Structures are given as C-alpha cells and as structure tokens.
C-alpha cells in the first residue's frame, strides 16, 4: 500500500464541488490512489440484506415501495421468526457473505419487536457473521440494547442533502436522522450511512450529502452509494435517469473524502452494466450487497456476481485475508 492520505473532517463545499468537477480520468486516478493507500486492492466486502419485516411503513419517503402511502403491490409481512432469520443467514454465509444485514420497515421499532430483533442479532452473530440492522430511528436506549445484543453496524442513510431532503421526505427531519446517527455512535456501534443518486437532486446536493458525511466527527465505516431503483406507484417513478459517469463520480468523491470507509456499491446494480460496475470498483467501491434481493427490489444473482468479480480479478475480503495469511505462513516456514 502507498502512503496514507490525510483524514479530514473539515471539508468545504467548494472543495468537494471542485473534486466533482475534475476530469473523470484524473478523478479516478486520485480515488484509486487513495483507495490503495487504505485498503487491500482487488478485494470486496460481501454483505447480504434480508427484509425481516416488510411493508406498511408510515413514512412517506418518495423512493420507497414499502410506504403505506403508495400503491406498489408490496404487501404487509409481519416480523420474521428468529429461526427463519438464522436459516437465511446460514444460506448467505454459505454463498460467501461476511456481513448479514437485517432491515425492517419501521419509523422506529417498538419494544417487543426490538427484543425479538436482538434475539436475531445474537443468533446471527453466533454464526460468525458481522451483523447490521436498519430499523428506522433509534433512541439512545434502543441503540445500547442492540449493542448489548452484539450488533456490529447500524444503517441509517441521510439519503440526500439537507436542502433537498424536504422534496423526498416530510415525515421526519434531517436532524432526526442525524440524532439517530449520534445515538448509534454513542452506543459504540459502527455506522453505515450513505445516500441515493438519481432522485432529481442537483450536483450541489450530491456534493453536500458527501460533505455532511465526511464532516461527521467520525466517518461512517460503511458508505452505501445507491442509484435510485424506480418502483411503479412511488412518486419518483419516471424520474430522469442518472448519467453513469455522474454515478461513478459520486463513488470516487466518497472514496476521496472518507479514505478508510468501505464504499458500498449498493442499490441499482441490477440496471448497471458490468463495465459500469468495474468503473465503480476503480473509483474506490469495495463493498457490495450480495444476493438476489435488496429488501423488496432486485439485485444481481450470486452466480453473475461471482463471474463478474472473477473476470475483474477481485476476490472477497475473507478470501483475501486467507490468501494473505497463507502467504505469510509460507514466508515464515519456507520449504
């Protein structure tokens, strides 16, 4: 690895916009250089996401098919049983995932449901998988309860800039989201937080979103960069598509601003060409959701992902660790 880049939390909007404005190839070169300074090259962290409670969410997020306010054909499904979640986690682990994320369509979880989710966390953690949950807003007490159960990560996306946020969501404020992130941090949990590209936001909104994340007191350990998945029945269905190079720019700037974070190529991969995904990996993405479904929307199947990664010479992080340990062992014990 090359010399580490400086970790900053004092970026200005002008600096971030200047990064977005770089010639694309210059931006990619800078992003890949920073990536290699902080991460093992040609590796990707594999996560699987399971919807443990689907539909009937009271929020009005304009992109979400699980909102009770929109007719999207998504039915209401009760919280899954703990054993069923464990079985799903076992299948994900067998397929190569190292992190298992549990998502529930809540504004915030009720005490009874949170107790059941904590039981799920304990079961999944016992398998040796990293655990992540996304359950809406949390109080400090709820965050500590999840931490005590063994949760590793909590996902709570900012989605977009504070200025554009009201165009997408009106049932909770931007500050509500920041308060949840603060509660999660204070509980000792790792943070997974990113946003969505393609909701009609401006280039400045994208810069402001990444600026907000980069200037948090501690960078999120995982930064999902999602491309809007347009679902019929949601207000954002029919929105203008994103220029693929603009999406790549967002990935690259996220890498430059948050060098140590895993930048996750997240929702929207089903519609991405293999070539676009390869550019995203070049831009510094080193995490993907792995499996055929993301909560309620599609995801590339695992066989296609394996073949794509093999074509690119990219290996899962766990395999890379094993390979590195084997090489170290050979050096320590030469034939």
Q: Phi, psi (5° rounding) for residue 288?
A: -140, 155
* Chain segment 21-53, per-residue pLDDT in tens: 999 999 999 999 999 999 999 999 988 888 888
* Chain segment 220-248, per-residue pLDDT in tens: 999 999 999 888 888 888 888 899 999 99
Looking at the DSSP bridge assignments, the partners of residue 14 are none
DSSP state of 189: -
Q: List the end-to-end C-alpha distance of the chain, in Å, as a whole number.
A: 27
Query: What is the pLDDT at residue 319?
Result: 46
**pTM score of the predicted model:** 0.86
User: pLDDT truncated to tens, each residue of the chain (335 aa)?
Assistant: 444 568 999 999 999 999 999 999 999 999 999 999 999 999 999 888 888 888 778 888 888 888 877 777 776 778 899 999 999 899 888 888 888 999 888 888 889 999 999 999 999 999 999 999 999 999 999 999 999 999 999 999 999 999 999 999 999 999 999 999 999 999 999 999 999 999 999 999 999 999 999 999 999 999 999 999 888 888 888 888 899 999 999 999 999 999 999 999 988 888 889 999 999 999 999 998 876 544 444 445 778 888 899 999 999 887 443 333 333 343 343 33
Cβ atoms of 229 and 268 within 8 Å: the answer is: yes
Q: What is the DSSP string of 263-304?
A: EEE-TTGGGS-HHHHHHHHHTT--EEE-SSEETTEE---HHH
Cβ atoms of 262 and 288 within 8 Å: the answer is: no
Q: Phi, psi (5° rounding) for residue 273?
A: -70, 160
Q: Give the C-alpha separation, 247 to 241, whole Å.
A: 10
H-helix segments, the chain: 13-20, 24-38, 82-94, 111-126, 140-149, 162-165, 174-186, 203-214, 244-257, 274-282, 302-312, 317-332
Q: How many CB atoms lie within 10 A of CB 189?
A: 22
Query: What is the pLDDT at residue 4?
Result: 52
What is the chain's mean pLDDT, rounded? 87
Query: What is the pLDDT at residue 232?
Result: 87
Query: What is the pLDDT at residue 330?
Result: 37
Catalytic positions: 57, 61, 64, 101, 132, 192, 264
Cβ atoms of 100 and 146 within 8 Å: the answer is: no
Q: Give the C-alpha separation, 66 to 179, whole Å.
A: 23
Residues sharing a CB contact under 8 Å with residue 58, sequence separation 6 or more, in sequence order: 67, 68, 107, 171
């Amino acid at each position: 690895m090359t010399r580490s880049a400086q970790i900053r939390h004092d970026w200005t909007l002008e600096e971030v916009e200047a990064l977005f404005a770089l010639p694309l190839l210059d931006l990619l070169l800078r992003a890949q250089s920073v990536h290699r300074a902080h991460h093992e090259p040609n590796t990707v962290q594999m996560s699987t996401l399971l919807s443990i409670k689907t539909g009937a969410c009271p929020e009005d997020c304009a992109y979400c098919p699980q909102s009770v306010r929109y007719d999207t054909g998504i039915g209401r499904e009760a919280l899954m049983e703990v054993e069923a979640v464990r079985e799903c986690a076992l299948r994900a682990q067998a397929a190569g995932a190292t992190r298992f994320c549990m998502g529930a369509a809540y504004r915030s979880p009720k005490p009874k449901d949170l107790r059941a989710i904590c039981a799920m966390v304990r079961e999944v953690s016992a398998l040796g998988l990293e655990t992540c949950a996304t359950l809406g807003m949390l109080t400090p007490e709820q965050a500590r309860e999840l931490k005590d159960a063994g949760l590793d990560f909590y996902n709570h996306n900012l989605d977009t800039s504070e200025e554009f946020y009201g165009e997408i969501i009106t049932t909770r404020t931007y500050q509500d989201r920041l308060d949840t992130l603060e509660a999660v941090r204070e509980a000792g949990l790792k943070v997974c937080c990113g946003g969505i590209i393609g909701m009609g936001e401006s280039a400045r909104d994208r810069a402001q979103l990444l600026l907000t994340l980069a200037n948090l007191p501690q960078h999120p350990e995982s930064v999902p960069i999602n491309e809007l998945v347009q679902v019929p029945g949601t207000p954002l269905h029919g929105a203008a598509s994103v220029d693929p190079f603009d999406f790549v720019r967002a990935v690259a700037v996220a890498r430059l601003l948050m060098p140590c974070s895993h930048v996750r190529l997240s929702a929207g991969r089903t519609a991405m060409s293999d070539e676009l995904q390869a550019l995203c990996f070049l831009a510094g993405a080193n995490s993907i959701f792995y499996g055929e479904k993301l909560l309620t929307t599609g995801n590339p199947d695992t066989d296609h992902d394996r073949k794509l990664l093999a074509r690119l010479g990219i290996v899962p992080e766990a395999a890379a660790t094993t390979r590195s340990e084997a090489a170290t062992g050979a050096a320590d014990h030469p034939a």
